[in-house]
Amino acid sequence: MGKQLKDEATTLNLLSEVQAGLKDYEAVLTQSMVIDGQARRLTWDFSSIDIETLEILQMTDIQFGHKACDVETLNKYLAWILSQENRYIPFGGDMVDAGHVQSNGSPFEQVGDPQEELWRFCELFAPIRHRVLGYVGGNHERRAIPTFGDIGKSIATILELPYSPGKQHIDIIFGDHKPFKISMWHGGGSGQTKGSIANGLVKFMNQAYSQLYLLGHLHQAMVVQESREVRGKNGKMVQQKIVGARGSSFLKHYGTYAEVVMGANPQTIQMPRAVLERNGHWELTLR
């Protein structure tokens, strides 16, 4: 009993320390379609923030806690985001690895158990929490459900993030973007060919009538651009740019499931980055 009380006290101290450093959001957040306390629809209003452009960088498939997680590069990404006040991130899922004895792979691939990963991840991301626009859980967050519960929900509770275990739709009000529409989902399947990876993107791009669609999961970065006809002013039809993008992963390749079991193609870390201009224009690159 004494050890249990000591462990509980340590956990409470960690929680207090992490949450004490959380900064408030500058943009105004409205959440809707809240199911079991988890929001599928978000609206961010940047009208009162004096920035010329808004940069949105997806961060996905970090799998923090895996021995192969490239923590050095991850820290460089976080420093880059915080170096400018106009940079924001949505979480694309698989943020921690959460391997345990009942999951695929070996628990010996981890630097700690899932609860340790949870706390270390929250400590690392607490200074950047006020830049996180949304969070969709992935299969690695769901790994813990049989033994612990959805670990993504726990991360979102600690860092006070808007979380969805499935899809999340984000509206950005910024300049002439009224709004800029984003749809996120972690992704599914095990496709490895460029065609199958692209087909998954295109399938998701046929949903929800957004402009930017973000997926992860397959650890292969890709961008698919299309145009959609929409009803414009003065009785005209106009073409609207829509883009689907997948981020890769922060895992190194050799010695991981991707190399040993799947024989997948190795890829450098590339995350989709959208830059919104006040005049309604926008672009997407891979960073």
pLDDT tens for residues 104-144? 666 667 788 888 889 999 999 999 999 999 999 999 999 88
How remote is the C-alpha of 65 from its chain's centroid?
A: 16
Residue 6 above 60 pLDDT? no
Q: Residue 2's pLDDT band (boundaries 50, 70, 90)?
A: very low
Q: Is the pLDDT of residue 5 over 50?
A: no
Tell the residue number behind the tokens 């830049």, with chain if given: 131
* Residue 21 in domain: no
- Say if 8 falls within a structural domain: no
pLDDT tens, position by position, 151-203: 999 999 999 999 999 999 999 999 999 999 999 999 998 888 899 999 999 99
The structural domain count of the chain equals: 1
Which structure tokens are listed for 162?
Answer: 């808007």
In a domain, 19, yes or no: no
Report whether 247 contacts 271 (CB < 8 A).
Answer: yes
Strands 212-215 and 177-184: parallel
Q: What is the pLDDT of residue 71?
A: 96
pLDDT in tens, 22-60: 999 999 999 999 999 999 999 999 999 999 999 999 999
66: phi then psi, degrees, rounded to nearest 5? -75, 145
Domain containing 164 equals: 28-286
Residue 99: its pLDDT value, please? 72
Report the CATH number at residue 59. 3.60.21
| Within-domain flag for 3 | no
The pLDDT mean for the chain works out to: 90
Q: What is the per-residue pLDDT for 282?
A: 98
- 7 domain-assigned: no
Mean pLDDT value of segment 227-233: 91
What pLDDT digit, counting tens, does each position of 154-164 carry? 999 999 999 99
The order of strands in the sheet holding 163-164 is 163-164, 132-136, 87-91, 53-57, 272-277, 282-286
5: in domain? no
Is 54 within a domain?
yes
State the Cα–Cα distance between residues 97 and 23, nearest whole angstrom.
Answer: 26
Top-confidence residue, 257 or 278 = 278
Residue 4 has pLDDT above 60, yes or no: no
Is 282 inside a domain boundary? yes
